[in-house]
A and B are shown apart, each in its own frame.
Chain A
Amino acid sequence: MNQTTSAEDTVSEQAPAAPREPVLQACGLVKRYGRVTALAGADLELYPGEILAVIGDNGAGKSSLIKALSGALVPDEGEILVDGVPTRLPTPIAAREAGIETVHQSLAVSPSLDIAANLFLGREPRRPGILGSVFRMLDRPRMRAEAARHLDDLGIMTIQNPNQAVETLSGGQRQAVAVARAAAFGNKVVIMDEPTAALGVRESRAVLDLVLRVRDNGLPVILISHNMPHVFEVADRVHVQRLGRRAAVLDPAGCSMSDAVAVMTGALDPAELPREAHAPGSVG
């Protein structure tokens, strides 16, 4: 199944090239909770080097879709392909091992632990040699140094020192720690769930810059957001989720926010939108 991808893997300028193989693909995902159908055959494609925004009204199956991709939920039907290979993601750990990192809305940080500890939470390195193998000793100097480097990579060294407890940080700084963790360990995809929802204007700005920087460092991003201006500002393509499936994939340069909202709420049939409103390669 797995065709070896062509040498065309380099990040192109701005517009994502259409015929490329998706890094992450969901096909016909179905998830039912009793009589409620959260996902009714949902599809999604994420291409290298892009920011794909996922929008949808409450109950559109947005969070179920994201949970399925991040291993927090096992769909009843359908399959998920990572680099074209069908992959089962039964747990968050499995998703992480497949290179998919998620920044949850709740951030999933441990407030009383310090920044370095949080960056490495769940995969702390041990000392080399007998100290690590027999005495199970953590490699704290390495964690500290690498944490500083990761924060630096994303230009968030304003966070004074990696030994600071996360509970002493502001909301935006905590978000930055969570994003830094995802960017440091994700080697395929970073999923961000409502990263600006709880933030003020200035902090949102900083986090959006961070999202762009993650993409520019080479990692494609799936961005879930309710905030249309934020979506239209950073997204390369906009996936509209409605009634448990994908309603359309829009090109933010070719349509307006009100068009997107209209498709999202069902007020507008995406087929009525002009051709340039649809993202290249997507069927309306």
Chain B
Amino acid sequence: MTTSPPAPAPAPPVIDDVRPAGPLDRVQRLLHSQATLGPAAVLIVAVTVFAVISPGFLGPTNISLILQQTAVIGTLALGQTLIILTAGIDLSVGSIMVLCSMVMGRLSADLGLPGPLALLAGLVCGTACGLFNGLLVTRVKLPPFIVTLGSLNIFFALNLWISRSETVRGVDMSPVLLWTGRVLEIGGARVTYGSLLMLALLGVLVYALHATRWGRHVYAVGDDREAARLSGIRTDRVLLGVYAAAGLVYAVGAWILIGRIASASPQAGMMDNLDSITAVVLGGTSLFGGRGMIVGTVMGALIVGVCRNGLSLAGVDVLWQNFAVGVLVILAVSLDQWIRKARR
């Protein structure tokens, strides 16, 4: 027998390929693995800059103002985060919130329903609105963008119909609905119950997303829906749950809104649609789904709040505030695109 060429050495079962990493690669990978690092850095920089520019910025009054302003957007953004994590988008946030606040306000003021019942009705209304979106997304298989673009108008029209385009004054409402606007003094700092409610909601959602099966599945569905389905996840049920939960969160936002403006106004919160998406994106959650931390969202909402507040303290025109927020969003999405390339 002739000698055959030496057999190739058996390769280890699985091969590692390690690519040398430059400093930029390391930053990219770090941001990739620690999604909240970027927004935290931006927030710190923004706070520092404004503290230097405007002396009153770090005063307790101003800080509590920022927190109040952030509570509504932050809450909406929490719900929005759930949807964006599944690679969806919700344009109807503002409409759902306004509709819920009108349901609460009118049931309490006009029908004299007890406060807790009016509140409950508002929360049910928000959940139902979310379910409506979710059913269209999962059963009719429409893209979330189209569904919520449509329901944005539907819910807003319902809101005008229920409110008859009139504001419900705070004095006519049950104090339960205004509770979120009440102030708690914690050592000089004045915090509204609304802000605390937002933080509590954040805690609940962090737990749900990171310590439960449902949270895993939300990420998996957003990451690769087909893969999730083949892994035995009931993707439609997860999506439906996400939309319903988001609707409930928006309704809590409506409650916080009522406390904040001490009334229920059919025109409130119209700018909040895009601001909530801005907060999510600034918070490092990917618009492509499956990646992001809900803690980042609150930081994102704070970044928006801090920038708007700081710029107006510095005497900058509202026009340029919007300009700045726009630039921030584009930068944040570009950064996200770049970070997503760090897959290996």
Interface size classification for chain B: 20 to 34
State the CA gap A64–B273 with chains docked (Å): 45
With A113-B219, A113-B223, A136-B214 as given contacts, are A206 and B231 in contact (CB-CB < 8 Å)? no
A202 touches B11 (CB 8 A): yes
Cβ < 8 Å to A, chain B residues 282-311:
290-291
If A110-B224, A136-B213, A137-B211 touch, whether A155 touches B232 (CB-CB below 8 Å) is no
Q: A117-B216, A167-B343 are in contact. Are A176 and B13 (CB under 8 A)?
A: yes
B224/A111 in contact, CB under 8 A: yes
Query: Are A112 and B291 neighbours in the complex by a CB distance under 8 Å?
Result: yes
Interface of B is mostly: loop
Binding site for B on A (CB under 8 A): 72, 92-93, 96, 102, 104, 106-113, 117, 121-124, 126, 135-138, 154-156, 158-159, 165, 167-168, 170, 172-173, 176, 202-203, 205-206, 209-210
Q: Which residue of B lies closest to A175 (CB)?
A: B14
Question: A165–B234 Cα gap in the complex (Å)?
Answer: 22
Interface code B218-242, partner A: CB below 8 Å = 1, 0 otherwise?
0110011011111111100000000
B230 in contact with A108 (CB, 8 Å): yes
Cβ of B139 < 8 Å from any Cβ of A?
Answer: no
Find chain A residues with CB under 8 A from B11 CB.
202, 205-206
Interface contact B213-A124, CB-CB below 8 Å: yes
- In the assembled complex, the Cα of A126 lies from the Cα of B213 at a distance in Å of 8
B186 within 8 A of A: no
Contact of A206 with B15 in the complex, beta carbons under 8 Å: yes
- Majority SS at the chain A contact face: loop
Which of chain B's residues have a CB closer than 8 A to the CB of A126? 213
Pairs of residues from A and B, 7 with the lowest C-beta to C-beta distance, nearest first: A122-B232, A108-B230, A108-B227, A121-B231, A122-B231, A110-B220, A110-B223
| Chain B hits for A117, CB < 8 A | 216
Report 8 cross-chain contacts, Cβ distance below 8 Å, ordered by A residue. A96-B232, A112-B223, A113-B223, A121-B216, A123-B232, A138-B211, A168-B343, A176-B14
The answer to whether residues A111 and B223 also contact, given A172-B14, A176-B13 and a CB cut-off of 8 A, is yes
Instruction: State whether A121 touches B220 (Cβ < 8 A).
Output: yes
Most A CB atoms within 10 A — which of B219, B226, B231, B233? B231
Complex contacts, A172 vs chain B, CB 8 Å = 14-15
Bound state CA distance, A84 and B17, in angstroms? 45
Give CA–CA (A154, B231) in the complex, Å: 20
Q: Is the CB of A173 within 8 A of B232?
A: no
Judging by beta carbons under 8 Å apart, are A111 and B214 in contact?
no
CB pair A158 B12 closer than 8 Å = yes
Question: Which of B212, B223, B233 contacts A137 (CB under 8 A)?
Answer: B212
B17 touches A170 (CB 8 A): yes
With a cutoff of 8 Å between Cβ atoms, the chain B residues found around residue A159 in the complex are 14
Shortest CB-to-CB span from B249 to chain A, Å, is: 18
Please judge, given known A-B contacts A92-B229, A110-B227, whether A156 and B219 are in contact too, CB under 8 Å.
Answer: no
A121 in contact with B233 given A110-B219, A138-B213, A168-B343 (CB within 8 Å) = yes
Q: A102-B230, A110-B290, A155-B13 are in contact. List 13 more A-B contacts (CB 8 A).
A: A106-B226, A108-B224, A109-B224, A110-B227, A117-B216, A121-B233, A126-B213, A136-B211, A138-B213, A165-B33, A176-B14, A202-B11, A206-B15
Closest to B286 in A: A112
Contact B230 A158 (CB under 8 A): no
Residues of A within 8 A of B14 (CB): 156, 158-159, 170, 172-173, 176, 203, 206
